[in-house]
Amino acid sequence: MPDLRARVLDQVDALRDEMVSFLVELLRVPTVNPPGDHYEDCAQLIGKRLEEQGFEVEYHAAEGRPEHTATHPRINVVGARRGEGNGPVVHINGHFDVVPAGEGWTVDPFGGEIRDNRIYGRGSCDMKGGLAAGIFAYEALRRAGARLAGTVEISGTVDEESGGFAGVAWLAEHGRIAKGRTDHVIIPEPLNVDRICIGHRGVYWFEILTKGRIAHGCMPFLGVSAIDHMGAILEAMRLELQPVLAARTTEMPVVPEGARHSTLNVNALVGGQPAAGIQSPCVADRCRAIFDRRFLIEEGFEAAKAEIVELLEQTAGRIPDLEYELDDLMIVHPVQAPAGSPLVASLKHSISEVLHTEPDIVASPGTYDHKHFARIAGVEDCVAYGPGILDLAHQPDEYCDLDDLVNSTKVMALTTLDLAGTV
Ligand SMILES: [Zn+2]
């Protein structure tokens, strides 16, 4: 139906100013996480817009989650526009929480300022821009008179930046997003307008505590230094484990290139007395460190953890008094859209139609809500595709290019049309 496709693209162009003013409104609600400010205002703003577009709108408060409090309620919004036939359900999901503005801005981070064809503000790139694009992709279909066979759902969810447990995970745990109910999911995270992101590596956050014995600092040989022992563990990681990890490469197309390998980062290290306090001569009897291990889909979590346990055992075997505890803090399994995904095929086609370029297929260096769709809801046909530039996420003077915004809206509109089908 070539003339319908052309009408849809024309409607996106015609909607440009309306979409930009809606995005300005979104950016002016400072949904900063932590702590999770103004979520209800933002959910209402999205819900009202979806109602105007003919969606049935539901609000889901994350009852039962400890972070859902009276001062910082966790409110998600889900809109559904029923199809006229028996087509599949296409779900577009965006998180509307943003990280704190931080220092170094030259514009108001919550002003929605437009300059040189760019819209500036915290969340413009990650990912209120993508959310606006998803909402207006449907609006363009509606105004073009498309009669869709399948249902279109659009959700605005909370807390992605802190793990998404009161957001997408909550909706999945409560059956609002589920295999059999949800067929294809587009998450317009900022992975660049000409790239399709099919998944991400796994995450294993863990804590190691070394335990020593306190003694007078003038006779350290009478005690056991937990800091020295943590040092031995860190050294073993650097000299023995890091080279092994760096030599492993995944088949997944993770960007940037350096993230195609296994990695390990030390997030935090605390031992002995607080450095800012008054010092007394003591051997440190406690040292604690937090680690961020990113593992490959080919490795799997069990093997990644076993390797850490083995390194700790070997180090303890070499140093007689070394005592440690290992605690798991967070485990995220790797996810990847299946080969032959209809969503990926359609996005590829739409991107070449709109941008006249062959899209790159990539995987994300970090995780996003894809994990909850795949792991909790069991919805496998999920990708990230959106207008923002990956490198600008969480930076000062974050912006979204307005042409990218419009182009990604066109891509999402055509892909929704392909997947939902017409009656
Ligand atoms: Zn994001």
- What are the tens digits of pLDDT across the range 183-196? 999 999 999 999 99
pLDDT of residue 1 exceeding 90, the answer is no
Burial class (CB in 10 A: 0-12, 13-18, 19+), 340: exposed
**pLDDT, tens digit, 9 for 90 and up, residues 77-101:** 999 999 999 999 999 999 999 999 9
Q: Helix 129-143 crosses helix 2-27 at what angle (to 10 degrees)?
A: 140
pLDDT of residue 242 exceeding 80, the answer is yes
Q: What percent of the chain stands above pLDDT 90? A: 98
pLDDT at residue 267, as a whole number = 92
Ligand 1 centre and the CA of 366: distance in Å? 10
Supply the pTM of this predicted model.
0.91
User: Where along the chain do its domains lie?
Assistant: 2-200+334-420, 202-332
Ligand 1 centre and the CA of 59: distance in Å? 21
Ligand 1 centre and the CA of 284: distance in Å? 40
**pLDDT band for position 2 (cuts 50, 70, 90):** low
pLDDT at residue 99, as a whole number = 96
Distance (Å, whole) CA 114 – CA 400: 10
Query: Which CATH fold topology does 2-200+334-420 show?
Result: Aminopeptidase (3.40.630)
Region at 145 (left for phi over 0; alpha for psi -120 to 50; beta for the rest): left
Q: Are 385 and 196 in contact (CB under 8 A)?
A: yes
Ligand 1 centre and the CA of 2: distance in Å? 34
Ligand 1 centre and the CA of 376: distance in Å? 19
Ligand 1 centre and the CA of 160: distance in Å? 7
Ligand 1 centre and the CA of 97: distance in Å? 8
Distance (Å, whole) CA 110 – CA 120: 8
- 225-228, long-range: CB < 8 A, 24+ apart: 225/283, 225/284, 226/271, 226/272, 226/284, 226/285, 226/286, 226/287, 227/271, 227/272, 227/284, 227/287
Ligand 1 centre and the CA of 257: distance in Å? 20
pLDDT of residue 336 exceeding 70, the answer is yes
Ligand 1 centre and the CA of 6: distance in Å? 31
2-200+334-420 and 202-332 agree in CATH topology: no
- What is the CATH architecture assignment of 202-332? 2-Layer Sandwich (3.30)
pLDDT, mean of residues 7-15: 98
Ligand 1 centre and the CA of 92: distance in Å? 14
Ligand 1 centre and the CA of 1: distance in Å? 34
pLDDT at residue 243, as a whole number = 98
**pLDDT band for position 24 (cuts 50, 70, 90):** very high
pLDDT at residue 103, as a whole number = 96
pLDDT, mean of residues 265-288: 95
Ligand 1 centre and the CA of 158: distance in Å? 10
Ligand 1 centre and the CA of 99: distance in Å? 9
Ligand 1 centre and the CA of 127: distance in Å? 5
Ligand 1 centre and the CA of 120: distance in Å? 16
Mean pLDDT of the residues in the chain: 97
pLDDT at residue 318, as a whole number = 97
pLDDT of residue 346 exceeding 90, the answer is yes
